Amino acid sequence: GSPTISIFQKPPGVIPPGGSTTICCTCQGGYGSFVLYKGSRQLRTLEQSGSRAEFSISNATYEDRGTYICHYLEGGTVLARSSELEVSVEELRLPRPNLSVLPGHKVTVGADVMLRCTTAHPSTGCYLYLEGQIRAQLLSGEQGDYNLSHVQEGDSGRYSCQCYTVNASREWSAVSKALDLVVR
């Protein structure tokens, strides 16, 4: 089959002006090259180590916000395109939330795990990020709990959360400290 290519932001989350992040593109088993686009504009061909390429955004400005996509090429032919990655740059005005995990960050396969994002600020919504995944999980409830039942090894990884106010002018928090979940 044709190669599949994934794109993600590392670390994930809304970036403050002046902040930094890395856009990563990975392709299973390929040794071609990656081209990064922002909208329809080609930004650059990415150098890769193995089957992965990285593009750094440092000292971010509002110009950096937008939709990014990776193309994977072999011999000048585009073999795969990634999903779209939306990069947001906003002032981070709210305090950093705290991410915790119950029963603990080392669990066995099949266990039930609860990730809790706690924020001091009332009436906020929070997102849970898993590094390497493009989709953020919107957390429900005042406490921002996320339940993983019957965890698998694929649920292992680096989690973080970020909150925003749900009033007219959406204000964002800094991203929580990351937490490594180990499933074995």
Q: What is the pTM of this model?
A: 0.90
What is the distance between the alpha carbons of residues 66 and 79, in angstroms, rounded to a whole number?
24
For 90, the enclosing helix (H) or strand (E) is: none
List phi, psi (to 5°) of 85: -110, 120
Domain with CATH 2.60.40.10 in the chain: 5-87, 92-183
| pLDDT value for 121 | 79
Q: Is the pLDDT of residue 169 over 90?
A: no
What is the distance between the alpha carbons of residues 128 and 55, in angstroms, rounded to a whole number?
23
Q: Is the pLDDT of residue 13 over 70?
A: yes
Yes or no: say if 37 and 5 are a contact pair by the CB < 8 Å rule: no
Tokens of residue 3, six digits: 């190669």
% the chain with pLDDT above 90: 66
| pLDDT value for 112 | 96
Q: Is the pLDDT of residue 142 over 70?
A: no
Give me the mean pLDDT over the 100-125 stretch. Answer: 91
Yes or no: say if 46 and 5 are a contact pair by the CB < 8 Å rule: no
| Closest by CA position to 169, among listed 106, 109, 93, 110 | 93
Q: Using only the alpha carbons of the chain, give its radius of gyration.
A: 18
Give me the mean pLDDT over the 84-99 stretch. Answer: 95
Domain 5-87 class, CATH top level = mainly beta
Q: How confident is the model at residue 22 (pLDDT cuts 50, 70, 90)?
A: very high
**What's the CATH architecture for 92-183?**
Sandwich (2.60)
